[in-house]
Amino acid sequence: MTTVNTDKLSSARFAQATDAFVEIFTASVDFDQRMAIEDIEGSLAHAKMLCKIGILTETEREDIIKGLATIAKEIEQGEFKWSIQQEDVHMNIEARLTDLIGIAGKKLHTGRSRNDQVATDIRLYLRKEIKVIDSQLTRLQLGILNLAEQEADTIMPGFTHLQVAQPVTFGHHLMAWFEMLSRDKERLQDCCKRINVMPLGAAALAGTSYPIDRHMTAELLGFSRPSNNSLDSVSDRDFAIEFTAAGSLIMMHLSRFSEELVLWASAQFDFIDIPDAFCTGSSIMPQKKNPDVPELVRGKSGRVTGHLVSLLMLMKGQPLAYNKDNQEDKEPLFDTADTLINSLRAFADMVPHLTAKKDNMYNAAKQGFATATDLADYLVRKGMAFRDAHEVVGLAVRLGVESKRDLSEITLAELQQFSTAITEDVYDILKLEGSVAARKHIGGTAPDTVRKAVATARLTLNN
Ligand code: ARG
């Protein structure tokens, strides 16, 4: 028995209805309806261009514009009836348009294909999401700057190998996070240049025989230019991979930031307080206050890196040009955008409310002989070769370890046993304040340098 499926746009070719499960299996409407507004924007530009080149009459163009406006409203109000039979967002909207306006709706698809349509939609969608991500990044950076300024004089231990290394200021430490996020922003903006190129007009893969005006559609949609090659335009998703790679780096940075916040909030470090609003309790241990926000963000970084790997694998085996494999690009992309926006938002909300426990930070910096390098530098300034100075300081540290004293607590007479070059002024540099104040070159940890770095950074943020 022959069943002709009259619901499908491609029905005439088929003698048999699509298998019921295959219909569900191949449909993407459940998730790609998220790009409905972008799909409508693309269709509006396409219709205007078709009218300009004489394919549509002005009445048809106006009917399409009105019909699409009605559909946009139905979607926004949650009244639009999405149908699996119409497979994806593109066919759902086109079918509804034809319901609403008749024959003009059927003409809209002239000179285009879902292949260039979907590639256009994703680019429009990503362009919008990047703006939101960028503004959350800016909010977070602003919070970091304010805190860094406030904590420019706060001394804490700087670590290497998670062992106390040298004293730094908390403001300086925070500004390291600012720098990472600045590069993240640059990467997103750079990737946006390649996203903002228009595939529409490539049609299925080979372009179209209609005299389309791709400059017009590109301009209407705010793309910087039409793409150069039709085969490339419908097939490659490198721009989406780039976005996910930039997103993975953002999440990697947030994950490292999270790790520090979790450590610092622990009773063992006790460097910061994370306000209650960003923590939760335990269902069994009444005393617990868990740093959930940073822990979750650290966890979420894994899924974005996973999406990057998914997209790379999705792409790597595909011959030119479009393949249905590409339908699988949407969910990882949407989840990447959501995860970035939500994680950045949680951080941007939380960071301004972090409190530094200054005494604990200071006391921790006093442990672990954090000014040992300063003593070596002091001896070098007095004429000793750095390697010899390193040796002398090693002896002083050993005495400190054995007698459980910091370098600043060892007497001058004792220090002079190791080198007669040491005089009373040594205590200026053995103090934590002296150590950080001395590092006043560009990129250094001195409080005044940090204040300058904050001021310069503020200017970049306002641009
Ligand atoms: N839903 C498809 C996607 O996401 C749209 C393009 C389908 N094109 C086609 N010829 N099957 O990629």
CA dihedral 262, 265, 267, 268 (to 10 degrees): 60
User: Which has the closest alpha carbon to 108: 69, 25, 51?
Assistant: 51
Q: Which of 11, 224, 282, 403 is labelled catalytic? A: 282
Backbone angles phi, psi at 205, to 5 degrees: -170, -25
Residue ID of nearest Cα to ligand 1 atom 11: 324
Main-chain dihedrals φ then ψ at residue 443, nearest 5 degrees? 85, 5
Return the pLDDT at 306.
98
Torsion of CA 270, 275, 276, 282, to 10 degrees: -30
Mean pLDDT in residue range 273-280: 90
Residues near ligand 1 with C-beta < 6 Å? 28, 32, 88, 114-115, 118, 324, 326-327
Residues 29-58: tens digit of each pLDDT: 999 999 999 999 999 999 999 999 999 999
Atom of ligand 1 nearest to the CA of 32: 4
Could you tell me the distance, in angstroms and rounded to a whole number, from the CA of residue 118 to the centre of ligand 1?
7
Q: Is 173 a catalytic residue?
A: no
What domains sit in the chain, N to C, each tagged with a CATH number? 20-110 (1.10.275.10), 115-155+167-358 (1.20.200.10), 369-462 (1.10.40.30)
Q: Which atom of ligand 1 is nearest to the CA of 329?
A: 4
The predicted pLDDT at position 11 comes to 66
- Name the least confident of 5-14, 126-135, 422-431: 5-14
pLDDT bin (cut points 50, 70, 90) of residue 192 is: very high
Closest CA to 288 of 265, 269, 271: 265
Compute CA distances 330 → 56, 200, 212, 237, whole Å: 32, 18, 28, 11
| Count helices and strands in the chain by DSSP H and E runs | 20, 6
Best of 315, 323, 326, 329 for a ligand 1 pocket test (most atoms within 8 Å of beta carbon): 326
Q: Among residues of the chain, what percentage have pLDDT more than 70?
A: 97
Q: What is the mean pLDDT of residues 130-144?
A: 98
Q: How far is the CA of 374 from the centre of ligand 1 (A)?
A: 64
User: For residue 2, is pLDDT > 60?
Assistant: no
According to the model, what pLDDT value does residue 353 have?
Answer: 97
Centroid of ligand 1 to alpha carbon of 424 (angstroms): 78
pLDDT bin (cut points 50, 70, 90) of residue 449 is very high
* Residues near 168 by beta carbon (within 8 Å), at least 6 away in sequence: 155, 156, 157, 158, 436, 445
DSSP annotation string for 206-256:
T--SS---HHHHHHHHT-SEE-S-HHHHHH--HHHHHHHHHHHHHHHHHHH
Q: Which of 161, 209, 283, 441 is catalytic?
A: 161
Question: pLDDT tier at 463 (50, 70, 90 boundaries)?
Answer: low
Top mutation candidate among 324, 328, 331 for ligand 1, by most atoms within 8 Å of CB: 324
Reported as a pLDDT band with limits 50, 70 and 90, residue 280 is: confident
d(CA 375, CA 395): 12
Give residue 286's pLDDT. Answer: 75
Whose alpha carbon is nearest atom 3 of ligand 1? Answer: 327
Mean predicted confidence (pLDDT) in 442-462: 96
Place of tokens 């430490």: 173
Q: Average pLDDT in the 311-319 region?
A: 98
Distance CA 239, CA 73 (A): 30
204 CA distance to ligand 1 middle (Å): 10
Residue 46 bears catalytic tag: no
Output the CA 326–ligand 1 centroid distance in Å: 7
Ligand 1: residue whose CA is nearest its atom 12:
327
Question: Given this model, what pLDDT does residue 73 score?
Answer: 98
Q: How far apart are CA 296 and CA 84, in angstroms?
A: 35
CA 447 / ligand 1 centre spacing (Å) = 57
> What is the overall mean pLDDT for the chain?
95
